[in-house]
């Protein structure tokens, strides 16, 4: 596992730390206004998805590997709804260091 503090991309590091802390404010700060996302290839509303999959269900990311300068992760993701699953995450990061889009799905 890779400790979140060791992740190469600061914006992704902030995202993972916010998820693992269950910190909605930090999660929003890690994202650009109007950030988008997809889950298993389908675009989702970020706020609704995050509430269901992260904040109301104890979501947690254990990073197994990173690639693409830290913008692609393989994660053991767990929450109270689905248990643990191996997932792939891809992030688009803006010049100001925030996530503008993330995509997740089964790895």
Give CA torsion, residues 14, 15, 17, 18, to 10 deg. Answer: 110
Residues of the chain with pLDDT under 50: none
Report the alpha-carbon distance of residue 30 to residue 46 in Å, rounded: 12
CB distance 77 to 64 below 8 Å = no
Query: For residue 7, which of 71, 54, 51, 52 has the smallest C-alpha distance?
Result: 71
The pLDDT value recorded for residue 48 is 97
Domains of the chain: 4-106 (3.10.450.50)
The pLDDT value recorded for residue 106 is 94
pTM of the model: 0.97
The pLDDT value recorded for residue 54 is 97
């Amino acid at each position: 596992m890779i400790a979140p503090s060791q992740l190469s991309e600061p914006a992704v590091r902030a995202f993972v730390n916010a998820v693992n802390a269950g910190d909605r404010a930090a999660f929003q700060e890690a994202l650009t206004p109007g950030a988008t996302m997809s889950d298993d290839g389908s675009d989702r509303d970020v706020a609704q998805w995050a509430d269901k999959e992260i904040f109301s269900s104890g979501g947690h990311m254990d990073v197994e590997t990173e690639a693409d300068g830290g913008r692609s992760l393989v994660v053991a993701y767990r929450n109270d709804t689905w248990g643990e699953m191996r997932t792939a995450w891809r992030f688009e990061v803006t010049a100001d260091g925030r996530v503008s889009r993330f995509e997740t799905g089964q790895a």
